[in-house]
A and B are shown apart, each in its own frame.
Chain A
Amino acid sequence: MSTNAITLKNVKYSYSQSEDAPALNGVSLSVEKGEFVAVLGHNGSGKSTLARLINGLLTADEGEITVLGLNVSDKKNIAEVRRRAGIVFQNPDNQMVASIVEDDVAFGPENVGVEREEIGRRINWALKSVGMEEFKNSTPSRLSGGQKQRVAIAGVLAIKPDIIILDESTAMLDPKGRAEVISVVKKLNEEEGITVLLITHFMEEALFADRAIVLNKGEVVLQGTPEEIFKNGDALETYNLALPKITEIENGLREAGLTVSNALNYQTLARDIADNLKGKTWGNCKNTPQYNQGGEWDVDISNLTFTYSAKSPFATHALNGVDLKIKEGEFFGVIGHTGSGKSTLIQHLNALIKLPQAQKKYKAKKVKKGQTPPTMPQITVGNYNLSNKKCDFKSLRADVGMVFQYPEYQLFAETVFEDVAFGLKNFFPKMGEEEVITAVKESLEMVGLNYEEIKDKSPFDLSGGQKRRVAIAGVIVTKPKILVLDEPAAGLDPLGKKEIMELLHKLHKTWCKTVVIVSHDMDEIADNCTSCAVISNGKIVFADTPEKVFANGEKLIELGLDIPLAAKLLIELKKYGVEIDCNLSCKGFTKSVINAYKGGGNNA
């Protein structure tokens, strides 16, 4: 028997016979037993097709695939291949069959006919290996994304496979969930000797692998250790992949003449920077933050409290006395983990959740003499007073656009044109045909799509990235003054992320005065926002410029939140007596360090 876990020889595969480029175009690669290999590639590079071919969910058009010596194209082998090479898929919700964790983990072993007592032992072992033993009797809908994916891994582990394939299993998770999954997989690889094939578009995750393979347009374009791969920064960019942030900073510093090693952890980088700055004196590095003066479209929230299922045993406080001001002109970030109340908060901004006083049934309670009336929550958005029953909620919603997470899942119309026009026709039923066409055209062009090409297509025939753009076009078609987006970049590859952020900045400069984004990604906040607020347990913990908020690094980590890479580096640099005050985006940090190195002040 060969020592290879997976071997592909010149494998080709196309989804359709049409002239489209094949999904895989002659891929040859091999993975040794016990190896941890990362397969990197942007959306549409063919990396998911690879996973499905290895597991026999798809059959190759040409070429040969062997898994642990078994030929996958032989139908007789498929059952055995699936037993020995398990897959964990992308969407944590769509791979669980049972309503109880334990039963779900049992599903695989039941299928292959394992004895009852042995299944029990395997469930305990598998759940323990992924650190989920205490959730044995929980129901999946109560778990976080990262926890669900760990259960899915346990479900695969319980079949006792030799190989685990993670098919973009981290793409839909927040950074915390991603870290959980990656550390579990790393542990299984090291302690149980399981061969791991990690398919991902997050370059940071490749750092944990022994070897990385880069796919582009269905072909293997790069192979090597993660360090070797990351040296090819320019090449990676042409394959629509982004370097890890840390490598980006290192490259920037190196170009400016600093000597930094190729380390992939921030502690080493901080030490290197401190060495470079030794003996240098740098001028006043104080940054003067620019405060926004505000204007006509300020948002003012005070004393906002909200309880789900009030007066029932299942009552949960989502918001508990929130005071928050968002000034006109800001690019505002809302930070908080799942369940912190941030979704509830933003749904108040366009009265999807109405304040109690604004609801039809509301009657003010009589206040006895000598008692002070309870303070009611108040929200004003520009000239709209949301606590007033008579507030024009319809035009409020046209002025405050709201883009939900994965907005592409709300597309419904037969053509792109109709879908984008939906909001317009709801808000302005009397608008003339010509005006509607102009508005839809402008909106689609704003999100970077070609109006003539796309207007008559079905939204369901578009690619993932295009769908998201159409969905955003459907919201901004009313040219809202304030645009609120819940995790706008969720699930996108690095290029897609970058493009969406560029689009938001473009909107911020043109149509929308204020942009509010909800995000778990601290670097995204640091790179883009002028101000941000941290929400935890229904309360605002910090609200200020990213620099001031992330200066509370320890407190944020205590709350289970991460901090941007630049903030980590600054904290580490302080240990060496280097204090640089800078913008916390990667570019800002690099620029400030270079300025300090050259002996000038910094004004990033």
Chain B
Amino acid sequence: MLNDVAFGQYYPVNSAVHRLDPRTKLIWLIAYIVALFLANNFYSLAVCALLLVVAIAASKLPFASVLRSIKGILFILLFTAVLNLLFYGGETVLVEWNFIKISVEGIIFTVFLAFRLTFLVMGSTILTLTTTPVSLTDGIESLLTPLKFIKFPVHELALIMSIALRFIPTLIDETNRIISAQKARGADFESGNILKRVKAVVPILIPLLISAFRRAEELGDAMDARCYSNAKNRTKYKKLTFKLGDLVAVILVAALIAGVVLLNIYGANIIPEIYNYIKIS
């Protein structure tokens, strides 16, 4: 039942992108999202698309696997598109019926937004496909380190994430076992109305919760016994190193932002006749 859950969806190949420092990839993603939201015309958006293609090529990921990520947001994508199309307003009205107004500006905006969302999701997917959850956690911890000065529990947060990752496979196994055991006692999870099905989950959830608490307690003891405390002199074994590839990636994404800003400003001058149809206001 739960065997097909591929958590984090890490795609194991050895590529330049896989080898990047997780911090670089996190910064890269944030910068990429900023660029996407800065872009106000299709020239800028095209530059964003170009960088996405470069990143996918460098990561050796099959294009289809990146594209598949859109499936998850397809509903939101269509929903917002329809809303935008019908209620955007705009001046060059094509159809008007009661409070519904379809305009040229509306169509342009809808298409633009759809691309922006798609690129955003594809960009994030590249991150999760090329980075193991473990190194992602390391990256987040390292990036959040400055927050220690305002007493934000960065290390504790990272440890919580790491323990959660560690226990996901264990708990999935356990869930499968409990489901089988209750099925063997005649439990039926597949038929009946919603109320019946919700009730049928109780014999799974209770043992699972109890076991999770028991595990937490035992883990707590084991951590205590291994000298865990909130002492300040704790050291860190894993060290992230910034390499040449990371520099290249950062330069690329900086260039992207610069390109987007320039095209936002000077885009109107390239072919002025069509500019009205490729910008959003």
Contact = CB atoms under 8 A, between A and B. Distances in A.
A110 B237 contact: yes
B218 A89 contact: yes
B238 interface: yes
B269 interface: no
A82 interface: yes
B252 to A, nearest CB: 30
A394 B186 contact: yes
B185 A79 contact: no
Contacts of A426: 185-188
B178 interface: yes
Nearest to B184: A402
A96 B162 CA distance: 11
B134 A98 contact: yes
A291 interface: no
A402 B180 CA distance: 9
B92 interface: no
A405 to B, nearest CB: 8
A22 interface: no
Given A99-B166, A110-B234, A83 B227 contact: yes
B203 interface: yes
B229 A103 contact: no
A82 B236 contact: no
Contacts of B3: 308-309
A113 B229 CA distance: 11
A402 B187 CA distance: 13
Contacts of B159: 97
Contacts of A40: none
Nearest to B190: A360
A582 interface: no
B184 A97 contact: no
A588 to B, nearest CB: 34
Contact of A352 (B133, B180, B221, B227): B180
A178 B139 CA distance: 38
Interface centre among A94, A100, A141 (most CB of B within 10 A): A94
Nearest to B155: A110
Given A99-B134, A411-B207, A427-B186, 5 more contacts: A89-B218, A95-B218, A95-B222, A106-B237, A409-B207
Nearest to B180: A352
A129 to B, nearest CB: 17
Contacts of A347: 180
Contacts of B186: 394, 397-398, 422-423, 426-427, 478
Given A402-B184, A426-B186, A111 B227 contact: yes
A115 B225 CA distance: 20
Contacts, number: 155
Interface of B: 3-4, 133-134, 159, 162-163, 165-166, 169-170, 173-174, 177-178, 180-188, 202-203, 206-207, 210-211, 214-215, 218-219, 221-229, 231, 233-239
A111 B134 contact: no
A474 interface: yes
A93 to B, nearest CB: 5
A528 to B, nearest CB: 22
Contacts of A99: 133-134, 162, 165-166
A410 B182 contact: yes
A94 B207 contact: no
Contact of B222 (A94, A110, A402, A410): A94
Contacts of B4: 309
Interface in A402-451: 402, 404-405, 407, 409-413, 422-423, 426-427
Contact of B184 (A55, A156, A350, A412): A350
A543 to B, nearest CB: 24
Given A115-B235, A116-B239, A79 B166 contact: no
Contacts of B224: 57, 82
Interface centre among A98, A99, A140, A352 (most CB of B within 10 A): A99
A389 to B, nearest CB: 15
A82 B162 CA distance: 23
Nearest to A106: B237
A475 B237 CA distance: 49
A94 B238 contact: no
B206 A412 contact: yes
Contacts of B177: 404-405, 409-410
A347 B183 CA distance: 11
18 contacts: A52-B221, A57-B221, A89-B222, A97-B163, A97-B223, A99-B166, A103-B237, A107-B223, A110-B235, A116-B239, A119-B237, A141-B169, A309-B4, A397-B183, A401-B184, A410-B177, A410-B182, A426-B186
A249 interface: no
Nearest to A89: B222
A487 to B, nearest CB: 12
B178 A409 contact: yes
B54 to A, nearest CB: 27
Interface centre among A87, A116, A397, A410 (most CB of B within 10 A): A410
Interface in A555-596: none
A575 B4 CA distance: 53
A404 B235 contact: no
Nearest to B185: A423
A474 B162 CA distance: 37
A388 interface: no
Contact of B134 (A100, A401, A460): A100
A8 interface: no
Nearest to B12: A313
8 closest A-B pairs (Cβ-Cβ)? Answer: A426-B186, A95-B222, A423-B185, A113-B233, A106-B237, A94-B218, A402-B184, A412-B206
B45 to A, nearest CB: 35
A578 to B, nearest CB: 46
Contact of B226 (A86, A404, A427, A478): A86
A381 B188 CA distance: 21
B235 A119 contact: yes
A103 B211 contact: no
Nearest to A398: B186
A398 B187 CA distance: 11
Contacts of B206: 412
